[in-house]
C-alpha cells in the first residue's frame, strides 16, 4: 500500500508539472508569438530550454515554501503526508487542466497553495495562516507591480528606442530583445513554478529537493510540448494587439517581477504577472485597445482558483479518510 501511494503521488506530481507546462508556457513567449517575432514552434523550443534551466538552477527556493511553509508536511505521519501530497496535487491538476481546456491563463501557484491549505484543514494540520496571508498579499501585488513596470518600460522605450536605434536595425534589434526577454521570462517561470509540481513530494520526503526539481522540470517540458500552444493563443493575441516594442516591455516587466519573488521563495503567478504587464503596456495606448471582456473572464478565474482547488482538496481528502484508517 505504501509503495502504491508513493507511485500515485509521483504520478499526480508529474500530472501537475504537465499541466503547468500546458497552461503556463504562454507566459514566456506568448507575447512574442502574438507580435509575430517567433513562430509557435520556435517559441516552444525556447521555452523548453530556458524553463528547464530555471527549474534546475533556482527551483529549490519556492519548493521549500510549498513543501513546508504552508503545512509542515515533513512533520506529519508518513502515510498521512503521502495522502495529503496525493490529494493536493490531484486537486491542483484537475482545476488547471479544466482552465487550460477553456484557454484561461490561471495560476498553478494559486491552485497548489489552495489545494495544500485545503488538504491541511481536512486533517486538522497546523496550517500556517500568517504565511498564507503573506502569499495572498504578494498575489495581489504581482499583477499590479507587473502592470506598473510594463507601463513604465513601454513609456520609456517608446520615447527613446526609435531615437537611439538606426532605422535599418530597428526590426532585428526588436526581434532580439523580444526573444531574450522571453527567454528570461521562461527562466524565471521555471524557477518559480516548478515548486507547484514538486513542493509537496519534497515535503513528504518522496524525493529529495534536487531530484524533485529535475523530475518536475521534465514533466513541465512534456506539458509545453504537448498542449502548450492552447493558452499561447490567448496571451499572444486576445488581450490586446501587441506591437513588438510592447511585447518586449511586457516580457521584461513580467520576468523581473517574478524573479524578485522567486529569490525570496514566494510562489507567485507568472500568469498574473504577464497578463498584468500586457495590461500595463496596453494602457499606454489607451484602455480602448484592451479586450476588457477577456480580462474580466481571466480575473474571475484568478479569484476562483485557490478556493476551488482548496475545496476540491478538502472534500476529496475528507472522503478518503472516511474509508481509510490511518
Q: Is residue 238 pLDDT above 60, yes or no?
A: no
Question: What one-character-per-residue DSSP string does 215-259 give?
Answer: HHHHHHHHHHHHHTHHHHHIIIIIS-PPPHHHHHHHHHHHHHHHH
Q: What is the pLDDT of residues 63-116, one digit of tens each?
A: 888 888 899 988 888 889 999 999 999 998 888 788 777 766 677 888 899 999
Q: Are 312 and 118 in contact (CB under 8 A)?
A: yes
Which of 181, 176, 197, 205 lies closest to 77, judged by CA?
A: 205
Q: Is residue 239 pLDDT above 80, yes or no?
A: no
**Which pTM value belongs to this model?**
0.84
pLDDT value at residue 296: 75
Q: Is residue 234 pLDDT above 90, yes or no?
A: no
User: What gap in Å lies between CA 81 and CA 223, rounded to an integer?
Assistant: 26
pLDDT value at residue 63: 87
User: What gap in Å lies between CA 243 and CA 19, rounded to an integer?
Assistant: 29
Q: What is the pLDDT of residues 175-208, one digit of tens each?
A: 899 899 999 999 999 999 988 888 898 888 888 8
Q: What is the pLDDT of residues 282-326, one digit of tens each?
A: 888 775 555 667 667 667 777 888 999 999 999 999 999 888 876
Q: What is the pLDDT of residues 12-49, one digit of tens each?
A: 999 888 888 887 776 777 767 776 788 888 888 998 89
pLDDT value at residue 58: 93
Amino acid at each position: 500500500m505504501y509503495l502504491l501511494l508513493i507511485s500515485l503521488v509521483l504520478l499526480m506530481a508529474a500530472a501537475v508539472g504537465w499541466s503547468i507546462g500546458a497552461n503556463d508556457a504562454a507566459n514566456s513567449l506568448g507575447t512574442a508569438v502574438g507580435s509575430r517575432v517567433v513562430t509557435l514552434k520556435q517559441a516552444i523550443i525556447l521555452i523548453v530550454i530556458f524553463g528547464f534551466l530555471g527549474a534546475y538552477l533556482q527551483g529549490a527556493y519556492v519548493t521549500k515554501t510549498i513543501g513546508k511553509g504552508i503545512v509542515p508536511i515533513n512533520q506529519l505521519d508518513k502515510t498521512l503526508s503521502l495522502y495529503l501530497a496525493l490529494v493536493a496535487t490531484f486537486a491542483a491538476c484537475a482545476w488547471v487542466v479544466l482552465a487550460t481546456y477553456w484557454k484561461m491563463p490561471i495560476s498553478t501557484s494559486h491552485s497548489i497553495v489552495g489545494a495544500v491549505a485545503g488538504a491541511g484543514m481536512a486533517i486538522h494540520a497546523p496550517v500556517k495562516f500568517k504565511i498564507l496571508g503573506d502569499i495572498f498579499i504578494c498575489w495581489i501585488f504581482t499583477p499590479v507591480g507587473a502592470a506598473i513596470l510594463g507601463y513604465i518600460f513601454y513609456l520609456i522605450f517608446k520615447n527613446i528606442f526609435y531615437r537611439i536605434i538606426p532605422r535599418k536595425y530597428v526590426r532585428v534589434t526588436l526581434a532580439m530583445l523580444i526573444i531574450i526577454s522571453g527567454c528570461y521570462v521562461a527562466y524565471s517561470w521555471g524557477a518559480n513554478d516548478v515548486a507547484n509540481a514538486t513542493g509537496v513530494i519534497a515535503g513528504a520526503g518522496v524525493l529529495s529537493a534536487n531530484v524533485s526539481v529535475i523530475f518536475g522540470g521534465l514533466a513541465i517540458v512534456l506539458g509545453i510540448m504537448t498542449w502548450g500552444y492552447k493558452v499561447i493563443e490567448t496571451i499572444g493575441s486576445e488581450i490586446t494587439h501587441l506591437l513588438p516594442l510592447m511585447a518586449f516591455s511586457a516580457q521584461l516587466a513580467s520576468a523581473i517581477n517574478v524573479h524578485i519573488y522567486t529569490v525570496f521563495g514566494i510562489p507567485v503567478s507568472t500568469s498574473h504577472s504577464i497578463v498584468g504587464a500586457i495590461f500595463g503596456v496596453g494602457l499606454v495606448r489607451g484602455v480602448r485597445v484592451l479586450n476588457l471582456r477577456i480580462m474580466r473572464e481571466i480575473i474571475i478565474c484568478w479569484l476562483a482558483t485557490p478556493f476551488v482547488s482548496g475545496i476540491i482538496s478538502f472534500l476529496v481528502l475528507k472522503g478518503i479518510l472516511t474509508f481509510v484508517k490511518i
